[in-house]
Structure 1
Amino acid sequence: MLPGEDRSVLQAFREGDRATLTRVYRTYSPQVARYLARRFSVRAGTHVHSVSLGALDLDAAHQETFVRAFRPALRQAYDGVRPYLGFLLMLARSTAVDLLRASGRIAREAVPLDDAPELAHAPTEEQGPEEQALKAEVRTLVRQFLDGLPEEARALAQLRFMEGLSQEAAATRLQLTRGEVRVRERHLRTQFTEHLLARGWLDVPLAGMEKVP
């Protein structure tokens, strides 16, 4: 079942109708789960290697993909024309890479190299409205977090997470030791996780929806 099969289904999907979202979840859940269970090729510098999600991360990525996909901005941006599966798999890939980076299994600068045939249905040269809406929401989320930080913490976050400087380079710029940067960075990560939790971006159960193995 595609959300855009007819206008009434698409409208119900955009409005967040629970029954419609449940149907979409049950329809695409097995395909998303199979996609996430594959190995992902990533490139860090000149090196290419493949990685896969562990059992716990696999379940988390599967649920998080739909949590993100069902956010109001993304539901309302879907045009009902392009295949929905292609968008879901792009979102699943992004979620998987985020988890792999967060766990330290791949470098933060690693770039995914994806050859899943389903992604051929997704736009590659131009961002669709769903991806634009997601990126806009992420930018707002990050900006809100940065704006709420003290000046020193905001400067560290800017250097490490926005500009991608190493701990050594950030320490030099801020006139800190690497140990001080490491401690402050750990605190920042904890604060950001709490920020995501408070705004429903992490560990949000899909209440009322059955998990599909």
Structure 2
Amino acid sequence: MLRDPQMLLSYRNGEESAFLALYEKYACSLHRFLQSGFNFSSQGKMCRFRGADNGLDAESLVQETFARAFAKTTREHYDGVRPFQTYLFSIAKNLVLRESLQRNRMISTEWMDEAENGESLFTGALDSDIGISPEKHVENEQLKNIMQAFINRLDAEEKAFFSIRFVQGLTQESTADRMGTTRARIKLLEKNMRKRFLETLRKNGYLTSYSPNPRWKRVEKLPYELETQRAACW
């Protein structure tokens, strides 16, 4: 909660002083929350977002979260009783999930169930077949076939990368260490694989209108004191 009545009033009024104070207090913890990931429920099934390193920019997410936290309706909905950090984290979580839906299935591979072997690497990228329509079941089967065919075409290095990075859920840095290569190489592998996978889906009639750019962009310049605060966090 915001214990200081004046701070609560300043926040509800959308004053810059409140923005600066709250950013300074919560930006680091929010950044850590987004980097470490979180659990969420989808269609009665527990899933996990593995962290902002997986295709999303943590800095942009932090900035966008604060921008949304200071939107008029968001300020009005805050009751001043629940912890502000919890309120902020819920905004960030909704932002990540909405962005993920906008990207459709492209980043859902980062949320898949832990695979016990490498035979069905994209299992979690698809909706569960339980309780879905026959049409959706057919679509899921088509996607499974497309995904498995894509995996089968990967070379040895790419298959190792995919298994470590996405199935095991390691960070780019840990994947590089495991594969005995550089993070720059891992970033290139990931970029190329995402591009080729998107092209494969489009060739098969999926995501034809999808754009990989997020609907929001990183703020070009923060006030000096916030730049200093950000530098201390990440």
Which TM-score applies when normalising by structure 1?
0.50
TM-score, length-normalised on structure 2? 0.46
Greater CA radius of gyration, 1 or 2? 2
